[in-house]
Amino acid sequence: MERIQDVKILIVDDNEELLEMLEKILKKEGFLNLFPAKSCEEARKVYETVRPDFMILDVNLPDGDGFHLFMEFRQKEDIPALFLSARDEDQDRLFGLGLGADDYITKPFLTQELLLRIQLILKRTYAGVLQQKKTEEVKIGNASVDFKSATVKKDGKESVLTAKELAILKKLTENRGNIVTFDMLCDAVWGDGYYGYENTLMVHIRHLREKIEEDPSKPKWILTVRGLGYKLVKEA
């Protein structure tokens, strides 16, 4: 498997039209190994022949339910799965997640959201398998960050990132273009809430800016979103 898009995806839903739509959307996104199934029986056959890397399961199926199917497959192999169900009851969602599913999305859904969640699961599961070149070196403006050695190169000068700075920058990079709240950052770095870390976090951000930004007093890349958090601006 070279790319994340190479994963084999089993899609189970009793509605043929929806199945077709999911295939189209995923194909467009670059996923080519798609295996649709309309019932538990079909799903079992597909599973035995192709051994998928990922499953999208509906809960209500004509000859059983997705929960049982999931448990059945999970006993054989620990593959990631996402439930896509019209059941929006909390207990259904909690049950599905409780079984060990990676996500539970209720219909109707935004295709963009579905794709993002699928990618998140796949990245999380198969990050080790894939070459990590992309995340190991990141360009931020004139600076380039090497996460493996925790160093920043800017204008020919090299500076070292502390462990905390590295953790913050990693979190920001993972969510590049999006606001990362103070809480998320503190959770990622200290495993704790924001309260009590307000100043510490600010100091770390200032140090990061000194190492990355051209003019740390007028940051262009690591932006403060007042009252919410920080955002690493996407490369134009």
Stretch that binds other proteins, among 16-24, 65-73, 124-132, 204-212 (CB under 8 A): 16-24
Task: Report if residue 48 touches other proteins, rule: CB under 8 A.
Answer: no
Reference 66, options 33, 31, 105; nearest CA is 105
233 binds other proteins (CB under 8 A): no
Indicate the residue among 1 and 223 with the shorter CB distance to other proteins.
223
The total of other beta-carbon atoms located within 10 Å of residue 4's CB is 19
Establish if 182 lies at the interface with other proteins (CB under 8 A). Answer: yes
Instruction: Give 81's strand partners.
Output: 55
Quote the CA–CA distance of 220 and 187 in Å, as a whole number.
25
Considering the rule CB under 8 A, would residue 32 count as an interface residue with other proteins?
A: no
Q: If you search the block for the tokens 């798609």, which residue do you land on?
A: 34
With contact defined as beta carbons under 8 Å apart, do 63 and 19 qualify?
no
- Report the alpha-carbon angle 87-89-95, nearest 5: 90
CA distance 230 to 223: 6
Interface pattern 134-163 for other proteins (x via CB under 8 A): ------------------------------
The residue (of 192 and 235) whose beta carbon lies closer to other proteins is 192
118 or 161, CB closer to other proteins?
Answer: 118
Q: Stretches 43-51, 72-80, 84-92, 119-127: which one binds other proteins (CB under 8 A)? A: 84-92
Q: Binding to other proteins by residue 215, rule CB under 8 A?
A: no
Report if residue 227 touches other proteins, rule: CB under 8 A: yes
Query: How many Cβ atoms are within 10 Å of 209's Cβ, its own excluded?
Result: 19
Answer for which of 5, 33, 39, 106 binds other proteins (CB under 8 A) is: 106
Q: Quick check: 179 binds other proteins (CB under 8 A)? A: yes
What CA–CA distance (Å, rounded) separates 84 from 150?
39
Q: What are phi and psi of 143, to 5 degrees?
A: -95, 150
Catalog residues that contact other proteins under the rule CB under 8 A.
15, 17-18, 21-22, 24-25, 28, 86-90, 106-112, 175, 178-184, 192-198, 225-229
